[in-house]
Amino acid sequence: MSSPRGTRPKLVLFQNRDVTPEPGASEDDFMIYASSRGCAASGYYGTLKVLRKTDGRLLFPFDGAETFGPFSTKQSAIAAAQERGEQLVAADIARPEL
């Protein structure tokens, strides 16, 4: 099914609602997305995104965040990113960033 010519899907913007920061109490309150990018010739770099589910706060990446790599294999890059994500979760549980 195609849309009529000249029409575009509407972009819906959500207002920034006031959300009271809630620290995570356990590892279940966080999402860690670890992946990789790159190729064998230039090396693989780990990519990471850490999200606190209780309030939707993005803990990583942030401005000036470190990079993971280069590594010789995708698995090494993903493992490094996953390990750093787990460290960030443990640190946020111990001392929440509000």
Question: What is the C-alpha separation between 30 and 97, in angstroms, rounded?
Answer: 13
Dump the DSSP string for the chain: --PPTT--PPPPPPP---------SSGGGEEEEEEEEEETTTEEEEEEEEEETTTTEEEES-TT---EEEESSHHHHHHHHHHHHHHHHHHHHHS---
Q: How many residues does the chain have?
A: 98
Residue 6 confidence (pLDDT)? 60
Mean pLDDT of 87-95: 95
Residue 45 contacts residue 36 (beta carbons within 8 Å) = yes
pTM: 0.75
pLDDT surpassing 70 at residue 3: no
Residue 22 confidence (pLDDT)? 77
Rounded to a whole number, what is the distance in angstroms from the first to the last CA of the chain? 45
pLDDT surpassing 90 at residue 85: yes
| Bridge partners, residue 33, by sequence | 49
Q: What is the pLDDT of residues 14-44, one digit of tens each?
A: 555 566 667 878 899 999 999 999 999 999 9
Share of the chain above pLDDT 70, in %: 79
